[in-house]
Amino acid sequence: MDQDQNPTSGNGTGTAVTGAGSSQDTRTAAGENAQTLTTRQGHPVTNNQNSRTVGNRGPVTLENYQLLEKISHFDRERIPERVVHARGAGAHGVFESYGTVGNDPISKYTRAKLFQEKGKQTPVFVRFSTVIHSSHSPETLRDPRGFAVKFYTEDGNWDLVGNNLKVFFIRDALKFPDVIHSLKPDPITNRQDGGRIFDFMSNTPEAMHMLTFLFSPWGIPANYRQMQGSGVNTYKWVNADGEGHLVKYHWEPLQGIKNLTQPEAEKIQAKNFNHATQDLYDHIAKGEFPQWEFRVQLMPDGDHPELDFDPLDDTKIWPEDQFPMYPIGKMTLSKNPENYFAEVEQVAFGTGVLVDGLDFSDDKMLQGRTFSYSDTQRYRVGTNYLQLPINAPKKHVATNQRDGQMTYHVDTAPGQNPHVNYEPSSLNGLKEAPRSAPDHKPHYNGVLIRETIDRQNNFKQAGERWRLHEEWEKEDLVNNLVDAISAAEQHIQDKMVELFTQCDPEYGQRVAEGLKKHAEMSNSNGQAGMNGKKESDAVAQAEERAHEAQPY
């Protein structure tokens, strides 16, 4: 037998296995075994926790092959439904600028044109969504909510893609496919499984802050109108002198904030699993237009060693007593979509869609999302997704990009030589725009490495959030965590209790007591999903309480 055909040849041993109807070579290199993680190219993965960055704070470098392979495959896991944010509702509206940040003109911090004048209005389209669940899932399920805004500015589109919660599970985009896989249904049973969820979370201490929000009533907003929004990631503002400031974005609903406990959500779901979509549509149809005030937090650009957290870490909140919220404008949603698919389903957002005066920080999650989001849209909607009316800028467009699936028109300018689809050219082709202000030029001097950030501080803010919860919120949080964690193996339960205890001793004690009581009372081995239901009980009830019928 030729060596290339021998599954036991090479530096290691292995046998052929069958999967999806085909055999697979399972040779292992020296130091590997069958459980060694590799890329699709077979390269052993020695660090699956950190992207390769200039210094451990970033920025991320483009030659991260492992990151690109992992994220680009993840972007293509579903056809054609969004992998995340599949269930959504949307509306058109307008953003009105206040022209100031606190007592200062906004031009002190950013040259972005949409903010400069008091009363200046910019059209917007907003898509609200659930993150994990599918396109026809109930809107009462426990899940982060997406809050994405497309600003159609005079300088082109700006997309602010965020969530209702101000933090996230992870701080490095390399882990995004992993966290979503843990929250999605089991690939064998096709059901969400608390055992899988908390297997991942118990090995991800940075997730404690997000879990303390998500499993509380904050994990089930009452509707889309009465929930907050956040850009989650850290961005930069750049002024006319090219000076940068770190910025966090927040939407505060002027209708107030309302959340649901798990039992309250279950009662609503029994009557209407589209309630949030209906609520938004009906209020706009009646002329009761929802509004949000747009607020920002600012700090000078830099790594801020005086803080006990890294300002680029999206598992952290910037304390308001140190970094106040400044109102900079107001958004009003006043028009429902004319066609759901053409607008809400085909609208495409990307965190890399910024206008002059707005810029990226070195936030590792932001930089990974910037590749992933637009890559997903090209795959899901098509190469020419930006030619669809809902995605197209409300201004002049002239590019040298050509062809591709579903080309609707050619991006040529009036009088442009149609033979020239390149630049530079002396034959009447497109020309570069003049530079009206200097670029922001951050300075980097670091080692290219794969490392977790220095100031992780995974438990402090989670403990603070626990202590800020009202008693009814704490009770709902513990009940929901116990229902979900009870599906996990005992060592995972113990590890979660240890992590919650590091956040706050009372927090860990109450989860531990809940798990002990649950184990004593449990009479079944059913698995619990993220929404606190004993699934095996529901299966039994469906048969026991059903009404018999005769064949026809």
Q: Which residues are catalytic?
A: 85, 163
User: Residue 235 annotated as binding?
Assistant: no
Residues 192 and 212 sit within 8 Å (Cβ to Cβ): no
CA distance 133 to 138: 8
Residue by residue, what is the 3-state secondary structure of 397-464?
CCCCCCCCCCCCCCCCCCCCCCCCCCCCCCCCCCCCCCCCCCCCCCCCCCCEECCCCCCCCCCHHHHH
Cβ neighbours of residue 288 under 8 Å, at least 6 residues apart?
none
Say if residues 14 and 30 touch (Cβ distance below 8 Å).
Answer: no
Please list the residues that pair with 442 across neighbouring strands: none
Instruction: Please state the three-class secondary structure of 223-244 as a single string.
Output: CCCCCCEECCCCEEEECCCCCE
Rounded Cα distance, 67 and 222, in Å: 36
Distance CA 111, CA 398 (A): 23
CA end-to-end distance (rounded Å), the chain? 63
- C-alpha 330/C-alpha 286 separation (Å) is 20
Residue 210 Ramachandran class (φ > 0 left, ψ -120 to 50 alpha, else beta): alpha
Pairing relationship of beta strands 358-360 and 291-300 according to DSSP bridges: unpaired
How many whole angstroms separate alpha carbon 431 and alpha carbon 168? Answer: 41
Please, is 97 exposed, middle or buried when counting C-beta atoms within 10 Å of its C-beta (0-12, 13-18, 19+)?
buried
d(CA 147, CA 229): 6
In single-letter form, the type of residue at position 476 comes to D
CB 325 within 8 A of CB 301: no
Beta-carbon neighbour count of residue 45 at 10 Å? Answer: 13
H or E stretch including 551?
none
Q: How does DSSP assign 164-195, residue by residue? A: SSS--S-SSGGGHHHHHHHHSPPTTT-S--HH
Element (H, E) at 501: helix 490-503
Helix, strand counts (H, E) of the chain: 13, 16
The binding site for heme comprises 373
The binding site comprises 373
